[in-house]
A = this chain, B = another copy of it.
Amino acid sequence: MQLTAHQIGILLEGTVEGNPEVTVNQLAKIEEAKSGSLSFLANSKYEQFVYNSGASIIIVNEDFVPVQPIAATLIRVKNAYSAFSVLLEKYDELLKSNKTGIEEPCFIHPSSEIGKDVYIAAFAYISPNVKIGDGSKIYPDVYLADNVTVGKNVTLYSGVKVYFNCIIGDHTIIHSGAIIGSDGFGFANGGEGKYRKVSQIGNVIIEENVEIGSNTTIDRATMGSTIIRKGVKLDNLIQIAHNVEIGSNTVIAAQTGISGSTKIGENCVIGGQVGIVGHISIANGSNIGAKTGVNNSIREENLSWNGSPLMSYRDSLKSQVIIKRLPELEKRILELESKIKDRLK
């Protein structure tokens, strides 16, 4: 893949500034780019790298005003990050071999329904009454239990396990080792300190355009459904308990855990290692910082939260500053006590 700045300018509907004949054959980050690389500048934090970058072409936002001369050819576009993403995507398609067909040995129950242009790898296991939509890719060691429904153009990477009756929507991507529909963690008092398993007869519904990270676990509902709404993006090693519902276009970073029956709103952004207790609601547009412990419902929309105990993001920053100075604070109290004592003499 060798392209000129002129060609890329046309592709991205951008304006070329500098030599239009310079060519690139790879994509790179601005701080690592060498000659022959195409790079981009979207975040002003990285602007310093533009002036010394070895990149041959740099995609920038149309309103970018350089403060020093730049050696590279610039291509100005409306949104540099989006434009670069488009190129990444095309490159990605070239990189990945487009697998189709059914490899042997695999296990496909005759009662299952497999769509057109599907890839089913060796060692995939398709149980009775499973449905797989057109264009979906089922990699090695994927296990789809009885009655699982997989939509169109779904990618299930190697080792994904889906328990019975679960539903996966169109264009969804699930990464290796993610477990969908394992039993919710429900036990009743069985007497004498023992526990009795509460059967988990519900399922998991994952809507369309969802992406789920590696080794993330989503438990089936006790009754009803655990629901991941359309456009949700879950990172790796996340725990979603039974009967949780996550609103559309909510994004959650790695290692966060959400306890049973909690409802997360739409368009929330939740950091990594957050813990959210069960049976609460989080309002739409909530922004929750990494490592936060959420132990109560958040009712007002579009606010930022942080800390454990939970505080507004602003209060949390203030509180954190003082936590670091607690020994000094105690000293000041001690001094006050001694002064007061002196005065009372």
Contact = CB atoms under 8 A, between A and B. Distances in A.
A319 interface: yes
A326 interface: yes
A11 interface: no
B195 A233 contact: yes
Contact of A309 (B196, B223, B315, B323): B323
Interface residues of A, number: 114
A88 B121 CA distance: 36
Contacts of A211: 183, 197
Contacts of A343: 340, 343-344
A124 to B, nearest CB: 9
A113 to B, nearest CB: 18
A288 to B, nearest CB: 13
B199 A235 contact: no
29 contacts: A27-B201, A82-B196, A88-B201, A89-B199, A91-B201, A92-B201, A107-B123, A123-B123, A123-B125, A141-B161, A179-B236, A182-B214, A182-B236, A187-B233, A193-B267, A195-B231, A195-B251, A217-B237, A254-B257, A259-B272, A290-B293, A290-B295, A291-B293, A318-B326, A319-B324, A319-B326, A323-B326, A332-B333, A339-B340
Given A272-B275, A318-B327, 15 more contacts: A29-B224, A29-B243, A85-B188, A91-B201, A107-B123, A177-B215, A185-B233, A185-B254, A195-B233, A213-B217, A237-B237, A254-B257, A273-B275, A319-B323, A336-B337
